[in-house]
Amino acid sequence: MTHIEKPRVHHPALEQNELGLTRRDYEGRMSTLCAGCGHDSVTAAIIETFWKLSVPPHRVAKLSGIGCSAKTPTYFVKEAHGFNAVHGRMPSLVTGGNAANRDLVYIGISGDGDSLSIGLGQLCHAIRRNVDMLYVLENNGVYGLTKGQFSASADVGSVAKTGEVNRQRPIDPVLLALSLGASFVARGFSGDKAQLVPILEAGLRHRGLALVDVISPCVTFNDHEGSTKSYRYTREHEVEAVEADFVPLRRELTAEYEAGDVREVAMHDGSVVRFRKVPAHYDPTDRDAAYAYVRGRQEAGEVPTGLLHLDPTGQDMHRALGTVETPLVDLPFEALCPGRDKLAEILAAFR
């Protein structure tokens, strides 16, 4: 079983969003992941995000590949259309889905095995196309579902539960995405929901691909002493490099922060990402600076987190394809078929 039915009880006192929906309305089925699995915390942050942004549940398309992480779309937004596909290939399904219907809200959930090994090519090319989606990479350094083999994100020197030491250099999704020119790159930690939710909110509202790498410990196979993806290691080495708040379009801007301490970046729909505690000289819209900063912090043995890079001018895939604003699935047949007379015209070239 990957899920257990959850009774749906509405309490009148439960807080409602703009659609009159409560957080419960954004939940899914009961998780069957291991108790304490980081992925469940990410699910909770996703539920919070969709609720806060008042996204109509049935307008959400949630997709995943295969893995423990890939099971999680079942656990949020039950009224969304879900697609649990094949290992490492979620990005291409989102690409095709989005090409056909650009009006839905796309979220793809993946794991470090799913995205950095078997599906590395699809991740890279989805970034390159800037498919409009929120891409959540639940990163635990191992293949959870196949019982704990190292993944490509395992750090050099990280020790497996079996005692095996990883000697290969990791593929860091944040650096990879930055080098590929991703328009939205963030890293979060499943143990820090307060930081993660605004990142996910901004990611959902971003037009283009928003890559959010979430360190999400696997309590069963990679949370021991010697692991560099454990709760403890992450807590001890995480530095919130860039704190970000997401201010949706309709919400009032409140001046909570000292001027000079804050940097605001407007998104395509008028929403604002407000960066706080930005280190001196750090410009989150400057890709090269972000890359250098993240590398520097990693060299110092830290795990930098936060919304690390944002290019709000990014043009998504449809811009490059030149497609009409109307979702292709909504076009009437009459707008698609040239008809009999035009066939004569076409065939005249073959005489």
How is 185-198 classified by DSSP, letter by letter?
Answer: EEEEETT-HHHHHH
CA 14/CA 106 separation, integer angstroms: 27
What is the per-residue binding string for another protein in 102-141, x denoting contact by CB under 8 A? -xx----------------xx-xx---x------------
Among ligand TPP, Mg ion, ligand SF4, none, what binds residue 123 when CB lies within 5 to 8 Å by partner kind? none
Count of residues engaged in binding ligand TPP, rule: CB under 6 A: 17
What is the per-residue binding string for Mg ion in 106-145, x denoting contact by CB under 5 A? -----xxx--------------------------x-----
End-to-end CA distance of the chain: 62
Query: Taking contact as CB under 6 A, which single stretch among the options 108-116, 224-232, 268-276, 286-294 is the one that binds ligand TPP?
Result: 108-116
What is the per-residue binding string for ligand TPP in 52-91, x denoting contact by CB under 6 A? --------------xxxx-----------------x----
> Do residues 186 and 203 touch, judged by C-beta distance below 8 A?
yes
> Minimal distance in Å, beta carbon 160 to ligand SF4?
13
Among ligand SF4, another protein, Mg ion, none, what binds residue 112 when CB lies within 5 to 8 Å by partner kind? Mg ion
Residue 30 contacts ligand SF4 per CB under 6 A: no
CA 314/CA 205 separation, integer angstroms: 13
Token code pair at residue 178: 């930055």
Residue 180 contacts another protein per CB under 8 A: no
Closer of 22 and 298 to another protein (Cβ): 22
Residue 34 CB: number of other CB atoms within 10 A?
A: 16
> Do residues 190 and 46 touch, judged by C-beta distance below 8 A?
no
Among Mg ion, ligand SF4, another protein, none, what binds residue 39 when CB lies within 5 to 8 Å by partner kind? ligand SF4
CA 173/CA 191 separation, integer angstroms: 19
Among the listed residues 28, 57, 97, 144, the single contact to ligand SF4 using CB under 6 A: 144
- CA contacts within 13 A on the Cβ side of 202: 32
> Do residues 184 and 203 touch, judged by C-beta distance below 8 A?
yes
CA 8/CA 260 separation, integer angstroms: 47
CA 149/CA 126 separation, integer angstroms: 26
Q: Give the torsion sign (CA, 101, 104, 105, 111).
A: negative
Token code pair at residue 16: 């409602």
Among Mg ion, ligand SF4, another protein, none, what binds residue 52 when CB lies within 5 to 8 Å by partner kind? none
Beta-strand relationship, 209-215 and 184-189: parallel
Residue 283 contacts another protein per CB under 8 A: no
Among another protein, ligand SF4, Mg ion, none, what binds residue 3 when CB lies within 5 to 8 Å by partner kind? another protein
Residue 218 contacts ligand SF4 per CB under 6 A: yes
Q: Which residues bind ligand TPP (CB under 6 A)?
A: 66-69, 87, 111-114, 138, 140, 142-146, 151
